[in-house]
Structure 1
Amino acid sequence: MNKLNVSIIGVPMDLGQNRRGVDMGPSAIRYAGVVERLKALGHTVKDEGDILISQTREEKSPNTTLRNLEQVIEANTALANKVHSVVTEGEFPLVLGGDHSIAIGTLAGLSDQYENLGVIWYDAHADLNTAETSPSGNIHGMPLAVSIGLGHDDLVNIRDFAPKIKPENIVIIGARSVDPGERELIKEKGIKVFSMHEIDKLGMTEVMNQTMAYFLERKVDGVHLSLDLDGLDPLYTPGVGTPVPGGISYRESHLAMEMLYSSHLITSAEFVEVNPILDEKNRTADAAVALMGSLFGESLI
């Protein structure tokens, strides 16, 4: 990765799930020094501010089991348009969440800029639910399904095209909580998954080497990193809404980011699910910013 023009986009969204506080994630990440960290690495950084998010909560929307559907569509449409504008200007979009439903908008804004976009989904969850398979109706568990063209039509067709990405261009890293419907979809669509079993068995170095080789085989022309802080073990990131024990370690995560930096594959990124209300002295936001440092080229020597 050369020195970049980074555009930071905050998305203070908590409508994709039912735990309050994750809307303060972008502020917590900024407070943890993301702008200063990236500037110190020589990148040009522009903070684009926050996407305006509706404060109205519908809970279960009319004629659907999905929570806050209209507001999630509105926010993701605004985000998609902003991301599209940033990429058109040749800048690197760095999106700060907010719950993981914002990935719907990020991918909608990115995907028509690439012929064959790859996606790394660094997460404890697969986020491949639909209204029919979701136990909760929370849209933050659906962004990957929506992005491959499955789900509510108004979500799937943000920016008037679908699908946004190909299932075979996705690599999920860190999965350890997968619902039955998601498991079937992974098998049906041939989605590449490195669960914690593979990470434990192979080690993070081999997982990342295989991930990068997979994208090269697929001849992707860009790779988006979507990193949910609950991908890490909650020992390191306590401020997340859906923690799952037994996750990726802090050091393994830094190694993954360092290897992605060296690969020169990453063309956009988002860091999501930082919830300061559930956190301990901003530890989760601090971890997010430290990982961003490694992703953008920070090294000890």
Structure 2
Amino acid sequence: MNSNKITILEFPTNLGLRKRDADTEPGVKKLPDWLKKHGFHKRVNAERTLRLEPPAYAMDFDKVTGVRNADKIINYAIEQAKIVSEHLEEDVFQISLGGDCSILIGTAIALKQKGNYGLFFLDGHTDFITSEISQTGGVAGMDLAIVTGNGHDTLTNITGLEPYFEEKNVFCVGNREYDTAYVRPILESGITYFDLKRLQENGFTETAKQFLEMVEINKLDGFFIHLDVDVLNDEIMPAVDCRANDGLTFEAFKELLKPLLLSPKAVGIEITILDPNLDADGTYTKQFIKHFLELVDYGKAKTVNT
């Protein structure tokens, strides 16, 4: 972390997801309020909390881009980028609360406008597919592809700054969808890729160390962390839209993130996909908050002591 000062940015959009069934709108837009209800904001003790309300939910399919809600997502990303950029200060760490994974686009735009940044993409999926492969047309499953310049120009080049992240500056970590056709695009990319099995073999601390070495070698201005909570083991975090067996334990999760949060080049992290509708009594949310805030407190303490 670049500071023990924190800004919380709330981006409660669900436009990147399709409905779970004919009548149920994805509940991820409730995440910021849900975390606040369970004490997250109070414990973080942020310097400020800012919020950007999203457009109304829809499932509109755009034939040009091949994705749902393209115009709404683009407009939201532009407004989001303004907020991220205005509060991207050297002595403040940003915690962005989704929402679905499409919120990465706005942050990516803001960082590209500021300089040359890296991305540690921690997710139970690669999100590195284009609309031609997607079965849903949901941007939440294409966000990593979009921010690295893969996909329709309307989304990948919103501000004329494509790509927002260069592939060589990205680690994609934690995927456990091993289908050959699904992983082929990322295997053929310039992204450093650790699926869950390879991550476990390489070691959590070692993987983080290798990412930080890349940040230094490539002389990056900083880096951002994307955290989709579906990277966690399904037994401890089933409140997600696309469940799968296995995943990271909280202990492995913290071992992986601690070195990253110690780095002064870590400018922020986003939390996505946790759906309050799927955690009625908050059991899974409370445990997530506990372990995540242990990481935040760790980063703060180390920042003060150094």
Q: TM-score, normalised by structure 1?
A: 0.89
Q: Does residue 59 of structure 1 match 2:60?
A: yes
Tell me what 1:81 maps to. 82
Q: Is the 8 A contact 2:65 2:152 kept in 1?
A: no
Alpha-carbon spacing, 1:82–1:168, altered in 2? closer, same or farther (3 Å): same
Structure 1 equivalent of residue 258 of structure 2: 258
Measure, in 1, the Cα distance between the counterparts of 2:65 and 2:95. Answer: 32
Q: Which of 27, 36, 45 is residue 30 of structure 1 equivalent to?
A: 36
Match of 2:70 in 1: 69
Q: 1:62 and 1:130 mapped to 2: Cα distance?
A: 14
Contact 2:2 2:263 in 1 (8 A): no
The aligned amino acid for 1:99 is: D
Q: Which moved more, 1:25-34 or 1:277-286?
A: 277-286
Q: CA deviation at 1:192?
A: 0.7
Q: CA deviation at 1:63?
A: 4.2
**Aligned counterpart, 1:167:** 167
Which of 87-96 and 244-253 deviates more?
87-96
Deviation at 1:180, TM superposition (A): 4.8
Instruction: State the one-letter code of the partner of 1:29.
Output: L
Distance 1:64 1:168, change over 3 A: closer
Kindly provide the CA deviation profile for residues 85-135 of structure 1, in whole angstroms up to 9, marking residues without a partner as x: 1115864322101010111111111222123x1100010111111111212
Aligned positions, number: 295
The one-letter code matched in structure 2 to 1:9 is L
Q: Secondary structure at the residue paired with 2:106? A: helix
Indicate if the aligned counterparts of 1:8 and 1:93 stay in contact, CA closer than 8 A.
Answer: yes
Shift of 1:294: 3.6
Contact 1:25 1:285 in 2 (8 A): no
My pick for the range that moved more, 170-179 or 94-103, is 170-179
Partner of 2:103: 102
Partners of 1:38 and 1:32 in 2: CA distance: 12
Give how far 1:153 is off. Answer: 2.2
- Who is 2:23 aligned against? none
Specify every segment of 5 or more residues in structure 1 that has no aligned partner in the other structure, as ranges.
Answer: none
Corresponding residue for residue 46 of structure 1: 48
The answer to whether the 8 Å contact 1:171/1:211 transfers is yes
Distance 2:118 2:64 in 1: 34
Indicate the percent of aligned positions where both proteins have the same amino acid: 27
In structure 1, what is the Cα distance between the partners aligned to 2:291 and 2:118? 20
